[in-house]
Structure 1
Amino acid sequence: MRTAKSNSSKAMRLFVGQSSCNNQYQREIAVMRTFVLVHGSWTGGWCWEQLRPYLEAQGHRVLAPSLTGVADRHHLATEETGLRTHIDDVSNLIEWERAENVILVGHSYGGMVITGVAAKVPQRLAHLVYLDAFLPRKGESAWDLLPWLRDAFQSLRLSDRPWLVRPVATGTLPPEIASVVEDRLTPMPIRTHEEPLPTAPSVDLAATYLHCVAEPSHFNEVAARASASGMEVKTLDAGHMALLTHPMDIAAILLHTAMA
């Protein structure tokens, strides 16, 4: 297991293009990739806004869609909107954009989605990155991996539309996160977390698990599963919403992945 504590300095070298980068490093940076970034619960494509500029500054293409039924697409939510819907969202995006050698990144619930996408369009993918995310097997739902979520979600159902789950209260979040997400979180269909993964990838794809270890750390057992499966696991001394608090560190890891 590797640590990402030193990634900030590496990130700065990448982002500002300092002359200290050797020629081999520069040649590797010249390999342009398509990153597809999949958000987690209650958020949307907007949650990558602090991270994506670091990738785009190096010439990479970045697609960060909002999944059906949340964020700018919240008006499309129905009782039938679930994990399969979101797998189709991202798979179709990749197909219609004719993206190749995609680095597919999923944060939190997004791990459920990218695993399903890897089963549908493996030929278009180069690498999977699980950012403190669910790592399901076929037939498993998010609730199977974090059983305590089942009861927690029941208490968050909307009274007038019980198939929707309201976001966690921003008052429970650290101030630096609450200020970013305030008024931007939207309810999401509960089916997303109760629906099991329909199909697992049939081919082996390169994959990295980035485990955020600052307490409370909810994905310790999932990270252990990743390690046991032979997946590369890196740790980051950050909380679950590291994409908001440590965007440069995560970008450095993604840029390194793009060089592989």
Structure 2
Amino acid sequence: MTAFVLVSGPFTGGQVWQEVAGRLRESGAEVHPVTLTGLGDRRHLAGPDTGLETHVDDVVRLIDEVDAAELVIVGHDYGIHPVLGAADRRPERITRIVYLDAGMPQDGDVALQLVPDEEVRALVLSQAGPDGDDWRVAPPAADGWQRWGSTDGLSEEALARLTDLASPQPSATFTQPLRLSGALAAVPTSGIFCTASGMSVAKLEGLMSLGMPQLKALADPRVGFFDLDTGHWPMLSRPDDLADILLRAAAGEGHRLTAPAVDEQPGYLRPFALDVPEQARERVGPVDLYLPAGPAEAGAPRPAVLFVHGGPVPETLRPTPRDWTTYVGYGRYAASQGVIGATLDHRLHSLADYPVAAQDVADAVELLRADPRVDGDRIAVWFFSGGGPLSADWLSAPPSWLRCLAASYPILAPLPGWHAVDSRFRPAEALAGAGRLPVVLTRAGLEVPEIAATVEAFVAAAEARRTDLEVIDVPNGHHGFETLDPTDESRGAIERAFRSVLGHLRP
């Protein structure tokens, strides 16, 4: 017999699983909907010290009580945190972990990162103290649930029921970090995307095609994925369909992602589209400088271009981005054109790291401007891929010495599920302060749709504000076309973008 342990998201308890549990039991399964401490009919048990560890203990105790040979444990939204914490302590008891419209938290992550609405995150943080009633976060009213996730598919009756069943959530459950030992590595997993939340199997495959190394583990044959066309509360909007998918997940079904060949060279390490000569390179901390051959005209300092890589990039990945052929190629090409090219390794290792990475970029620019070989009044900053959100700081208040901002196949708004990205990093909104700053944008015609949508929204905002925007299209180019598509079209786009940027760096 298969037993299901069902753990729902914030403010809710076991009652929200009523229809799903009934359907699963009809199939012959054993079902255990969980009401965590402080929620539902256990709300009176909560106190200021009720945190994530309390909920992990709740799930562990239940696991220990279940005798079924096969145990499938399901975590919805916040519920994935106590599910993972408990499964990490009892990995030998778990047959499969199911992520139901949930994030993929790692060791040290907090559940607050999953909350999509920034104002809600700030509210939770303001209530995170141990005194008085501040240790509880009030559940949303009927018209406020969409700030916690898509309400698509919920009837008025279901929404009213969700509201009636909700209870305050102890704030420490949102802010206490998840602790994982790595014991879950061998446990099979399934992911269920509620497509109205913004993610789907097809979209995940698109992101995988970019070669993001942090997604490699999802190509494991023990990992399966499903789509469910509804909003964030499928146990209320599509209970029968959800039950059917859970049964299929328990049976090991689901869409498998294709793993790249073991000997396949990552796209970011393939040869650069342009055949550029080697140039002198100096390494100064996290910054590499590519220096033109020969003295500058009349001994004058030269303009500089800083190339900002994308991400997030795992901290342990080697080689680091400044040694990827794309950025080596751009640095060398800049030097061959008579300007100083600079690359850096910034610390965008997770979605929460944009503020840290932004400071790294600012520090690199100051290092450049302080170098006597650099004309500190003629600087361009060029952003790539997931580094695109970092452009917001420079668009919102461009200094006079920033002569141009460039971006190639950038991500220009948080992608679906990127809830942890601070609202400061919204380039389209930052255009309000860009003034006359020239922007050179290179678009890949075969871009991942989710990324392309952020670029189109940025272009529309730039046109509305009459920003000095030049768009260079690579119709047959992919994200990372400089190494993935070494064609005349790609080479022409790189050369044209450089001509534009260098034109803005002239005295």
User: Cα distance 1:178–1:130, how it changes in 2: closer, same or farther (>3 A)?
Assistant: same
Q: Which residue of 2 aligns with 1:178?
A: 159
Match of 2:217 in 1: 229
TM (norm. structure 1) is: 0.78
Per the alignment, residue 58 of structure 2 pairs with 89
CA distance in 2, matches of 1:61, 1:201: 28
Runs of 5+ unmatched residues, structure 2: 146-153, 253-507
3-state SS of paired residue (1:49): helix
Q: Is the 8 A contact 1:129 1:207 kept in 2?
A: yes
CA distance in 1, matches of 2:80, 2:233: 14
Offset, 1:192: 0.4
Which sections of structure 1, spanning at least 5 residues, go unmatched?
1-31
Letter in 2 for 1:150: R
Separation in 1 of the partners of 2:225 and 2:58? 27
- Find the counterpart in structure 1 of residue 94 from structure 2: 125
Alignment CA distance shift 1:79-1:99 (3 Å): farther
Query: Taking structure 1 as reference, are residues 73 and 190 closer, same or farther at Cα in structure 2, changes over 3 Å only?
Result: same
Map of 1:27 onto structure 2: none
Quote the offset at 1:56 in angstroms: 0.1
Match of 2:140 in 1: 168
What corresponds to 1:213 in structure 2?
A: 195
Q: 1:200 to 1:245 in 2, by over 3 A?
A: farther
Q: Please report how far the alpha carbon of residue 172 of structure 1 lies from its aligned counterpart in structure 2 after TM superposition.
A: 3.4
Q: Deviations over 1:175-230 (max 9, x none)?
A: 24322223221001000010111124413211011111215x4899xx77995431
Alignment of 1:1-260 (within 5 A): 32-146=1-115, 148=118, 149-154=120-125, 161-173=133-145, 174=154, 175-202=156-183, 203-215=185-197, 217=198, 228-230=216-218, 231-260=223-252
Q: Please tell me whether the aligned partners of residues 36 and 102 of structure 1 are also in contact (alpha carbons under 8 angstroms).
A: yes
User: What RMSD over aligned residues (CA atoms) do the two structures have, in Å?
Assistant: 2.6
CA contact (8 A) 1:99 1:124 kept: no
Q: CA deviation at 1:98?
A: 3.3
Instruction: List per-residue Cα deviations over 1:114-154 (Å, max 9, x = no partner).
Output: 11111011111100101111321001111234473521424
Query: 2:52 & 2:4 partners in 1: Cα distance?
Result: 21
Q: Distance in 1 between matches of 2:128 and 2:86?
A: 28
Q: Could you tell me how far apart the structure 1 residues matched to 2:200 and 2:132 are?
A: 32
Conserved 8 A contact 2:127-2:135 = no
Deviation at 1:59, TM superposition (A): 1.0
Letter in 2 for 1:207: T
Distance 1:219 1:47 in 2: 24
Distance 1:121 1:46 in 2: 25
Pick closer, same or farther for the CA change 1:245–1:145 going to 2, 3 Å: closer
Q: Percent identity?
A: 35
Contact 2:60 2:90 in 1 (8 A): yes
Corresponding residue SS for 2:196: coil
Specify the alignment match of 2:282 in structure 1.
none
Q: How many matched pairs?
A: 226
1:190 alignment partner AA? S
TM-score (norm 2): 0.42
Distance 1:122 1:152 in 2: 35
1:116 and 1:157 mapped to 2: Cα distance?
Answer: 21
Distance 1:243 1:201, change over 3 A: farther
**Aligned partners of 2:127 and 2:171 also within 8 Å:** no
Distance 1:233 1:179 in 2: 30
Are 1:109 and 1:142, in contact at CA under 8 Å, matched by a contact in 2? yes
Change in CA separation of 1:113 and 1:72 when aligned onto 2, cut-off 3 Å: same
| 1:161 match: secondary structure | helix
| Equivalent-residue separation in structure 2 for 1:153 and 1:211 (angstroms) | 26
